[in-house]
Amino acid sequence: MDVEVRDKIFVDGSWIKPSGDQLTDVIDSTTEEVFAKVAKATAADANKAVAAAREAFKSWSQTSPDERGKYLSRINEGISARMSQLSEIISKEVGTPLGLSQFIQVGVPASTFADMANRANEYEFEERIGNSLVVKEPRGVVAAITPWNYPLHQIAAKVAPALLAGCTVVLKPADLAPLNAYLLADVMEEVGLPSGVFNLVTGPGTEIGEALVSNPEVDMISFTGSTSVGSHIAQLAAKDIKRVALELGGKSATVILEDVFNSDETIAKAVSGGLFMCYLNSGQTCIAQTRMLVPKAKLAEIEERVAAETATYTVGSPFDAMTRVGPLVSKKQQESVRDYIRIAKDEGAQLLTGGEETPEGLDKGYFVKPTVFTGVDQNMRIAQEEVFGPVLSIISYENEKEAIEIANNSSYGLSGAVWSSDNDHAVKVAKQIRTGQVEVNGGMFNPTAPFGGYKKSGYGRELGKYGLEDFLEIKSMQLGF
């Protein structure tokens, strides 16, 4: 098997050798083999990238939104032209089934750049309020630190609005899934983005991430990842009063209301929708709906339906058209999920289907069976902690008030879902769930609507108009004329 080597970093418009000569292995999550190696940069390299971004900010911040939008449009075209290559790479890195990779892992990021390009001429960067001219200006140099589960999507959600705002960027992608970021840097070079506006530095978060967050020339940090790391970043950033946007963990609930059971079709949709949002990307999704809340009187019926439908989630290679659940990203993640399955059993949860055993015929690869527990108490670890794997907890409730209380009984508040036979009723319940977004009766994810969390799921918003505004400062100019 050929191993691709990307031993340089992208700084100040050029591919340069980092100060060290070490490389990081990139593992194919299906075969467990090294399929690529990328540069392992140092803090000195990160600081060099920040210096380039700071210098580039002087001119980039003065360009017109229209000009910046034209670059974003060309970046969208460059990503779209690499759809097949990027999809295959991300499926190897993360384990997402190829069809979903094409749509979610590449299609959505491309559309994010397109959306920001369209906003270049729509968004009002200036407005008059009385005798004041209120202007919205770029925050400055942005350090974007991104995760591995939706690698290009999370990069686009930060880089596209930052560039439109007039900021310059230093990107530190996840070590487990860095190759897609290299292809994005290739696109940046191809479209002729001015030197230093976008910089790519790969390496361990403990060194590169710390250097970026601590560098006084960085004006803003946009981070997606675990709550513990997000808290650490916020504390470091507070020393210099840096702006911080955090998109962290989640423990989302699918709330199936009692009136759903008036229609067999509605019940089927609720179960299907909840399972899809639990098992999507092998459960490696911050908005995964890993708790299913159901009326106690209907528990047995839900158990039967969930077990039957889970059996249709074929586990296998992401390159097999029959696969619905691919491998997890790494051996470490696989072991973590298996540990949670064991913990759930020890705490008294009842295993309905799945388990920690290796799926039949899949001895190679970081696979875990889609697993469902029932009889789950809302305070069990399996119901409170982010598993980040294909594991569902079914929790029963006595009445609607208790369902809402259970849904809100979480330190997280990122997403959720409500199912009802009455749309108005569903919306009424959704408004009582303390999360940044709620799917109502199967509403699809909207990549132009604001995305972000309450509570320990973070602060700030990504995507669409609100995502752009996170990268803008507001200035009032009091006019005497």
Residues labelled catalytic: 247, 286
Residues 6+ apart with CB under 8 A from 407: 253, 255, 291, 293, 416, 433
d(CA 378, CA 33): 39
> What phi and psi values does residue 311 have, to the nearest 5 degrees?
-60, -20
CA of residue 398 relative to chain centroid, distance: 34
CB contact at 8 A, 451 and 245: no
The count of other CB atoms within 10 Å of the CB of residue 427 is: 14
d(CA 415, CA 250): 7
Among all chains, which residue has been given the structure tokens 């229209």? 66
CB contact at 8 A, 461 and 443: no
Stated as kind and residue range, the H or E segment containing 100 is: helix 98-100
HEC assignment per residue over 313-341: CCECCCCCCCCCECCCCCHHHHHHHHHHH
State the DSSP code for 204: -
Whether the CA torsion 288, 169, 49, 209 is positive or negative: it is: negative
CB contact at 8 A, 341 and 352: no
Residues 6+ apart with CB under 8 A from 117: 69, 70, 72, 73, 76, 164
Pairing of strands 23-27, 14-16: unpaired
d(CA 19, CA 244): 28
d(CA 162, CA 113): 11
The encoded tokens of residue 296 equal 């106690």
Whether the CA torsion 25, 31, 32, 33 is positive or negative: it is: negative
